[in-house]
Amino acid sequence: MKDFIKNVFANIVAILLIGAVLLGIMIMIFVVSAMSGDQKPFVENNSVLTIDFKGNILDSYTEKEESIFDFGQNKDVLLLDVVNAINNAKKDEKIKGISIEVDNLPAGITQVDDIRAAIEDFKKSGKFVYAYGNNMSQGSYYLASVADKLYLNPVGMVELKGLSTEVTFLKDFAAKYGIGVDVIRHGKFKAAVEPFIRNDISPENKEQLSTLLNDIWGNISTKIKTSRKLDDATFKTAVDSLYGFMPELVVKNKLADQLLQKSEYENLIKKQLKLKSDEKINRISVNKYINALDEEESSDNKIAVLYAAGEIFNGDEYQNIHSEKYVKYIKDLAEDDDIKAVVLRVNSPGGSGNASDEILFELQQLKLKKPLVVSFGDYAASGGYYISMAADKIYSSPNTLTGSIGVFGMIMNFKDLANRNGIRSDIVSTNANSQVYSPLSGAAPGTIPILTRSVESTYKRFVYFVTQNRKKSFEQIDAIGGGRVWSGTRAKQLGLVDELGSLQQAINYAASKAKLKDYSLDSYPRKSSPLEEFFKQTEEDEIAARVISKKVGKENYELFQKITNPKLNNGVQMALPYQITIK
């Protein structure tokens, strides 16, 4: 009895201590957040705006991987904030120039396009733009090439190599370990299922990938050549021969202006600022400059920017695009009289067909009340394109991956794997297909035929909404559909989008559509609070997901999810088959 009381007392003390530690952590989070929020950076005279991103560039807070242990040190920044900061710096008398100093740019290709365009516009002010690199990724070089002068470390390199994509195939892996895969798809270009049914890229997929990569590379290379004043032959030779990997060849082929140490580069900036060699450069990073800017005064006339970033799922979670959450967001925007127009920023490869349809319906209802303009980011494909079909007008970046008008269904089972390890199952049913699906016995005889009908029906519904929005016939859309992915440039030629332009241009059009001259911007979803993040990250599934992702890498973890996540492999899917990362 005495030992029992001791154990109970010890457990109570342990619980109280754990509770006190958790409470202390939460208090620390709020204190640090409050302190960091009160410290507004000061912009000194004769300053240089330094582009040196330390965190990710995001479209929306829903893409942000918060940590309760960041204590306000997370350096992630929103794209629209970066663009607005550069635009403000153009007219800020305290900012004399821009220095681009980023070796590995944590941004998507369309985000780089928008930042690059903002810097190009900044140059019209007559202020200088310099760039410096050590070991520059291809995306970083694409941004840096906009500079008046580009300098490289004497033992640095530029990873200039063109674009490629590699598709991983799991057919033999699945067969080896007894994993069965039943696939139904509409569209010969709907390649999302190919890794499970083939060991190589199909001719159709190879055709669309080649067209897509060449479109995007054509856009990127044209801007680099124009900025660096290079002819086609010189640039192609430099890229094909990997001259960027050899510093002396970088300068010889005019990919950069000069090889310099960082201190020598800083002396050049001092010269531009008319500083003495022993004087300090007043630098301010983009993140700090964003925080230094005066907040825009709120207006009774507002334009809402609703960010749809990530994969589309059913459910009510904050991360990605969960239909229950987004239906609520859209209804709130429709009922808010202060919101005069809505810009839907889509950066999604799609996902659940059912969830996409729910979101599209609510957007159609919103459009009846106020203007709805859509802006495409890196991805607006399949379900991401589908939810855009309520738009009054669609803006796309030239390098957006869009289209993928097609659907598929996929059911996985582990019957052979189970049988090989002595596990078997038997079924007792009241009807022919009562056991629609089981991981141990696979799909029932009637499941695949009915799922096939469902896929075909969903495809026709998909095409119908596209025909209504794009004002084309079923045959016209079907001819460019079939799951095929297009670049934004090609999508404009085909009539799948209205204009090639940035998020800011979409906002400007929404303002004109709503007849607004003065307005303020509201972003949705709102940023989640530190308290919400704290409890979210203590959930068992969340902890497990973070551990696995950390161990195997983000790309491999996404592949792992394709196999194990029920949200991604049940039901009819409107999803892009791959992602392209500019490195």
Residues recognised as catalytic: 190, 382
Strands (E), 73-202: 77-78, 95-100, 128-136, 149-158, 180-186
Report residue 477: phi and psi, to 5°: -75, -40
Task: Please compute, for residue 408, the number of CA atoms within 13 A of its CA located in the half-sphere on the CB side.
Answer: 28
CA of 99: how far to CAs of 143, 161, 271, in Å? 11, 24, 13
Altogether, the residues listed in the chain come to a count of 583
CA of 241: how far to CAs of 161, 234, 264, in Å? 8, 11, 29
Q: Are 365 and 537 in contact (CB under 8 A)?
A: no
Instruction: Report DSSP letters for 13-70, one per residue.
Output: HHHHHHHHHHHHHHHHHHHHHHHHHH----PPSSEEEEE---S-EESSGGG----TT-
Distance of CA 255 to the CA centre of its chain: 29
Report residue 402: phi and psi, to 5°: -140, 180
Q: Are 408 and 573 in contact (CB under 8 A)?
A: yes
Burial of 72 (0-12, 13-18, 19+ CB in 10 A): middle
Written as six digits, the tokens of 464 are 């119908």
User: Which residues fall within 8 angstroms of residue 44, CB to CB, at 6 or more apart?
Assistant: 94, 282, 284
Distance CA 501, CA 503 (A): 7
CA of 77: how far to CAs of 9, 55, 56, 84, 377, in Å? 48, 7, 6, 12, 16
Instruction: Output the CA angle 470-471-476, nearest 5 degrees.
Output: 85
Closest CA to 43 of 83, 89, 100, 86: 89
Distance CA 447, CA 477 (A): 29
What is the dihedral sign for C-alpha 269, 271, 277, 278?
negative
Rg (CA), the chain: 27
Distance CA 399, CA 139 (A): 13
Instruction: Output the CA angle 85-530-42, nearest 5 degrees.
Output: 30
Distance CA 72, CA 5 (A): 43
Closest CA to 88 of 121, 46, 132, 54: 121
Closest CA to 381 of 505, 484, 516, 298: 484
Task: Please compute, for residue 188, the number of CA atoms within 13 A of its CA located in the half-sphere on the CB side.
Answer: 9
Q: Are 489 and 215 in contact (CB under 8 A)?
A: yes
